[in-house]
Structure 1
Amino acid sequence: MQLHIDTPLVESSATACRAGQRVWLKMDALQPSGSFKLRGIGHACATRVAGGARRIVSSSGGNAGLAAAYAGRRLGVPVLVVVPETTSARARELLAREGAEVRVHGLSFQEANAHAQSLLDPSDAFIHPFDDPLLWEGHAGMIDEVAAAGLRPDAVVLAVGGGGLLSGVVAGLRRQGWNDVPVIAVETLGADAYAQSLAAGERIELPGIASIATSLGARMVSAHAFALAADHPITPVVVSDAEAVAACLRFMDDHRIVVEPACGAALALAYEAGSRLGGFDNVLAIVCGGATATVAQLQAWHAQLHKGPGI
């Protein structure tokens, strides 16, 4: 059972950084749950329910939890989502709106995750936010859709948190035989575990997350995402929170879609003057979305963080 939708592939003249460049947006912000997460998490939930699972348990109060809640409602099974105390009231409201049971535990994702796993029964399916081959398989479908639309990009730009989207996109590129298409992996400063890990040559665990882009807030990327850089061209890029938020607001004006700062990190690179994407003729940008963002919150962050002219 497919729970996600095939999303539009839209050419954006607003983000092209030079004449002759074409930037294509894969609009996964339009997924029913609000983000690309529904692709992989929907696939994982459907697979495990088909295998006999009678309840879905998630430890994310963000996009992964919302995707699990949506999937459970569609599949007709109850969903328990354990969230840390830092989860916003809006996120909790959205989870409850999807019919999920929401429990609050701990000050961090790590505490909530450990508590969620302690509650598992044998008939439960535990859904990890990013570190599961079923998720990567589901996320890979967005590249299949790009290929079906007739586009072979010169580069893919996307945001990195724990590495689930990156793992899925690389899996999709390989499935199409596009092993030479580089991926530009963007993070915000303070949530840049991937860039730091690649620079160090080993996985680095951040002491904490010092960025408002909380959807990028995995303190350590998955081992699989880290290993991918050894045999696929992946370039890490780090942008500021101010750049990410400014890109969200500009994208909202240009395309009338609200996304969160985690998605704005990738869009910031597309909007960058003299962009590091300038050497590519056909750029695919993954608009990963984010259901908890609001216009008011983006504007408040912009006032707090953005100190100069727009991107």
Structure 2
Amino acid sequence: MNTINIHKLKKMNSPKLSSRQNFNGNIYVRTPLIESVPLRKYCAYRKVYLKMENCQPSGSFKLRGISNLCKYALSAGYTEVVCPSGGNAGLATAYAAMKLKIPCHIIVGQKTPSIICDAVREYGATVERYGIVWEQANQHAIETTIDSKTAFLLYGHSTIVDEIAQDLDGEIPSIIVTCCGGGGLLCGIVQGIRRHGWEKRTKILAMETKGTHSFNLCVKNGGRRTRLNEITSLVSSLAANEVCEKVVEYFRDNQPQILSRLITDVQAAETCVHFANDHRFLIGLACATSIAAVYTGIVERIITKNEDLHESLYDKRDEQEMTDNEGPIVVIVCGGCEISLNHLKEYRDLFDTQKSIENENISINS
């Protein structure tokens, strides 16, 4: 059987096909862009819109790019897809393969929760446990698959910006907020912004947690790709020791300007609870990382130019400094599989414990 490793396919370039080539019919869906009235008060009462990628059939934005990869694999003659992932990429691959009616094999780590494996199987994919960390699962996938010639992952993600532009109907966002793991979504947003000519009018705010801050490390290292030695955050979906080279190149280009900011795991957990109360959606810690930029005041400090020096010290600037176009804030609600009512209770307990510790410290110091 002619098989292809989805993660291997992502890294290939084709001299024959344009990455903008599309196939008839989309597996992913157009997701809603909704205005958030509750979040306006955290952004100096500027309009805030939420791009609800958690409404994709597989539960996250990853279906956009991965479905394009699966379509290409099928058109190129491959008869099976293999994906080393114990999370959102695996679910997206399994769903896309189900829609395309091709076999799918997902290789997960030994510690991947059974609930994720069961969800993958519901889409008709087979599941194999291998290795402790993702790198081991990926190496195993490489050894059992055949090289490919091209990939469309980033173009798939950039369609998010196309939909935002259509729904805003002439308004241009001042900031698009996204989380950053390996950098695929961030790269797609850059491509979409450039396609619409917004690179001098729209900034990107790339959010990470302390402990998954591989992009932030590159920013602080002068725009050089740098490896994060250890993942110390609970946010496993953002746990990439190194971002892709392309996202570092885009940061250096500064077209558009990409800002890097960090939050703590506790702030991400608190955001999960706040967002459930404000918008009646359950989100995981990775998804909450972008929304936390609103709840923690990061976005407001940026647009009101009220940041401390340590926050903006490493921002890349040029001679023609981008001015705030006073457009709306758009937050990418990227979605993800790492959330349930039990998770939400754990997150509430986590930040309640942290609040108690902070209150005790205040009492001691009073």
Which residue pairs with 2:161 in the alignment?
143
User: In the alignment, which of 192, 197, 206 is matched to residue 218 of structure 2?
Assistant: 197
Q: Secondary structure at the match of 1:230?
A: helix
Comparing 287-296 and 266-275, the one that deviates more: 266-275
Query: What is the deviation of 1:305?
Result: 4.6
Report whether the alignment pairs 1:294 with 2:340: yes
Comparing 294-303 and 188-197, the one that deviates more: 294-303
- Is the Cα contact below 8 Å between 1:80 and 1:101 reproduced in 2? yes
Comparing 139-148 and 194-203, the one that deviates more: 194-203
Report whether the alignment pairs 1:207 with 2:207: no
User: In the alignment, which of 194, 199, 209 is matched to residue 188 of structure 1?
Assistant: 209
Query: What is the deviation of 1:226?
Result: 1.3
Report whether the alignment pairs 1:166 with 2:186: yes
- Is the Cα contact below 8 Å between 1:158 and 1:184 reproduced in 2? yes
Report whether the alignment pairs 1:24 with 2:49: yes
- Amino acid in structure 1 at the alignment position of 2:333: V
- Is the Cα contact below 8 Å between 1:247 and 1:267 reproduced in 2? yes
Query: What is the deviation of 1:64?
Result: 0.7
Report whether the alignment pairs 1:53 with 2:78: yes
**Higher gyration radius (CA):** 2
Query: What is the deviation of 1:19?
Result: 4.7
Q: Aligned equivalents of 2:151 and 2:80: distance in 1?
A: 20
Report whether the alignment pairs 1:153 with 2:173: yes
Which residue pairs with 1:129 in the alignment?
none
Q: Aligned equivalents of 1:290 and 1:102: distance in 2?
A: 19
CA deviation profile, 1:202-235 (whole Å, cap 9, x unmatched): 2222223211111101111000111110113001
Query: What is the deviation of 1:200?
Result: 1.1
CA deviation profile, 1:169-227 (whole Å, cap 9, x unmatched): 11100111111211000001100100011111322222232111111011110001111
Query: What is the deviation of 1:80?
Result: 0.9
Which residue pairs with 2:94 in the alignment?
69
Query: What is the deviation of 1:29?
Result: 0.5
Q: Secondary structure at the match of 2:301?
A: coil
Report whether the alignment pairs 1:261 with 2:282: no
User: In the alignment, which of 223, 227, 238 is matched to residue 216 of structure 1?
Assistant: 238
Please list every run of 5 or more consecutive structure 1 residues that lacks an aligned counterpart in the other structure.
Answer: 127-131
Q: Aligned equivalents of 1:157 and 1:221: distance in 2?
A: 17
- Amino acid in structure 1 at the alignment position of 2:117: R
Aligned positions, number: 303
User: In the alignment, which of 315, 329, 352 is matched to residue 283 of structure 1?
Assistant: 329
CA deviation profile, 1:44-81 (whole Å, cap 9, x unmatched): 11122122111111111111110000000000001111
Query: What is the deviation of 1:240?
Result: 0.4
Report whether the alignment pairs 1:272 with 2:296: yes
Identity %: 33
Q: Aligned equivalents of 2:76 and 2:151: distance in 1?
A: 16
Please list every run of 5 or more consecutive structure 2 residues that lacks an aligned counterpart in the other structure.
Answer: 1-24, 305-325, 357-366
Shift of the 46–304 alpha-carbon distance from structure 1 to 2, 3 Å rule, reads same
| TM-score normalized by the length of structure 2 | 0.79
Give RMSD over aligned pairs.
1.9
Query: What is the deviation of 1:285?
Result: 0.3
- Is the Cα contact below 8 Å between 2:269 and 2:350 reproduced in 1? no
CA deviation profile, 1:62-105 (whole Å, cap 9, x unmatched): 11110000000000001111111121222111111111111111
CA deviation profile, 1:121-147 (whole Å, cap 9, x unmatched): 46xx69xxxxx8511100100100111
- Is the Cα contact below 8 Å between 2:72 and 2:151 reproduced in 1? no
Q: Secondary structure at the match of 2:237?
A: helix
Which residue pairs with 1:240 in the alignment?
264
Shift of the 94–208 alpha-carbon distance from structure 1 to 2, 3 Å rule, reads farther
- Is the Cα contact below 8 Å between 1:83 and 1:102 reproduced in 2? yes
Shift of the 141–56 alpha-carbon distance from structure 1 to 2, 3 Å rule, reads same
Q: Aligned equivalents of 1:267 and 1:173: distance in 2?
A: 20
Runs of 4+ in 1 over 6 A off after TM superposition: none
Which residue pairs with 2:129 in the alignment?
104
Q: Aligned equivalents of 1:78 and 1:169: distance in 2?
A: 30
Q: Aligned equivalents of 1:166 and 1:220: distance in 2?
A: 14
- Amino acid in structure 2 at the alignment position of 1:285: V
- Amino acid in structure 2 at the alignment position of 1:199: K
User: In the alignment, which of 349, 357, 364 is matched to residue 303 of structure 1?
Assistant: 349
